[in-house]
Amino acid sequence: MPVEIYRKISLFFLIALIGVNSVTAENAHNEPPAAEELNFHDALEQAYEYSPKMIEARKSIEASKGDLIIAGTFQNPEGELEFGGFKKDEDGKRNTNLDSFEIKQPFDPLGVRFLKSKIALGEVNIQEEKLRAVWMEMYLNVRQSYSEIILHKKEIELASQNLEAMRQFFSRVQLRYNSGQALKNDFQRAKIELLKVENDYLSAQKELQAGKARLNLILGRPMDTDFEIVEELKEEELSMTFEEIQTIGFENRPDIKMADFALDVKRKNLFKEHLNRLPSYYLGFKRIDEDDRDDYAILVGVSLPLWNLNQGEVKKAQAEKDIQEQRVKTTRDQASLDIYEAYLRADLHHKQLDIAKKSLEEADELLRLANLRYSEGKIDFLNYLDQIRTATQSKVNYYRTLFNLSQSISELEVFLAQSLRQEDFLNEKF
């Protein structure tokens, strides 16, 4: 009997253990996967590999390399076969044999094929610089979107703190109103302020979700991919003066290099059109079957541009070269202006950060004193609300100034085509 009871108890515990494990496994299976932790460098890596704009730019380089292969290849040869004798002779027979066979290889004027190859190589160089330009735009967009997400997280954090403070304040006002120590309009105003803070909190959450969706699209990922930012906004220094930045110059900028390459292409194209005034020619071979006897001939032909000596193409190429020379000058002037304006913005935001830091230091103390004085009845209702808003806005302004400074330094890096930070994420791919 005891053995039988022992078996039943053991079987009961075994079934219970299996049930618990099944429930645990099902719950673990139903839990959502942990969000990906995404740092800024990994975000840049994904943008470089999977962004549609980067993929398009790389494919454009491949296409221009195909044009380079075509430009360096001779023209296709031409062949001709001649069959004759379809009319019956006196014996009623037709002579349908191959009467002649010839093949011709056309050639451009001397030097033209060489210049075509150089022009195509210039186009490859332009597409490679376009890839760099797209990458720098991508770098700026990724850093901006990444930093915006950090900013939105901070705004949610501050909005949550402000919401908790306003709830406590509303409870305090409600108690005073119920006890007859506060007016009804103070109670209503406190309720309105609480609803406004709740709305600000929801808006901050919406901005965070939208920011994550934007970054996902930039990285070439599904819009709803979940991830968590693992970095924080930090205070950055603009350590270089404008005179030092001027010494760096902008010769490494992709748009400057593209303009220079395009000008070189236009010059070579003008030279090519001048060479096209020279005769083009072809060489060939011909085999003739005449009276059942084979004969052979070497063919030489010349094409002369007699009617206008290619003047139309030369004039067009000259105009295109002149236009490109003006574009080079305009591009360089714009580059100088871009760098100057970007430096002014970065310098302004750096100075504004100093002011925001001082305001931040006063914000916590202001909030503490406001709570104390209102509870003691030393300040009125509206004064208390104003001080709460001032303290909260000081914190928000500090983080927004950090974001603005980071973005302006990134713009200056892109305009200089050179990193101004310790990490060189901007040029590590090139």
pLDDT digits (tens, 9 = 90+) for 299-337: 899 988 888 888 999 999 999 999 999 999 999 999 999
- What is the pLDDT confidence band of residue 99, given thresholds at 50, 70 and 90? confident
Q: How many CA atoms lie within 13 A of 424 on its CB side?
A: 6
Structural domains of the chain ordered from first start? 31-86+96-416 (1.20.1600.10)
* Buried-exposed string 311-327: b where 16+ CB fall within 10 A, e elsewhere: eebbeebeebbeebeee
Select, from the ranges 167-176, 249-258, 378-387, 401-410, the one with the highest average predicted confidence (pLDDT). Answer: 401-410
- What is the pLDDT confidence band of residue 134, given thresholds at 50, 70 and 90? very high
**Chain mean position to CA 133:** 9
What number is the average pLDDT over the span 232-251? Answer: 84
Composition of the chain by helix, strand, coil, percent to 5: 70, 10, 20
Q: Are 218 and 44 in contact (CB under 8 A)?
A: no
Which of 51-65, 388-402, 412-426 has the lowest average pLDDT?
A: 412-426
Sequence-ordered list of residues with C-beta below 8 angstroms from that of 89, at least 6 positions apart, any chain: 95
pTM above 0.85, yes or no: no
Q: Rounded to an integer, what distance in angstroms lies between the CA atom of residue 162 and that of residue 194?
A: 9
Return the percentage of the chain with pLDDT > 90, whole number.
52
Degrees (nearest 5) of the Cα angle 263, 266, 268?
A: 110
Of 272, 257, 250, the closest CA to residue 124 belongs to 257
What number is the average pLDDT over the span 220-238? Answer: 90
Sequence-ordered list of residues with C-beta below 8 angstroms from that of 142, at least 6 positions apart, any chain: 40, 43, 44, 47, 215, 218, 219
Per-residue pLDDT at 245? 85
pLDDT at 82 over 80: no
Element (H, E) at 113: helix 112-178
Q: Rounded to an integer, what distance in angstroms lies between the CA atom of residue 177 and that of residue 164?
A: 20
Degrees (nearest 5) of the Cα angle 157, 161, 167?
A: 140
- What is the pLDDT confidence band of residue 271, given thresholds at 50, 70 and 90? very high
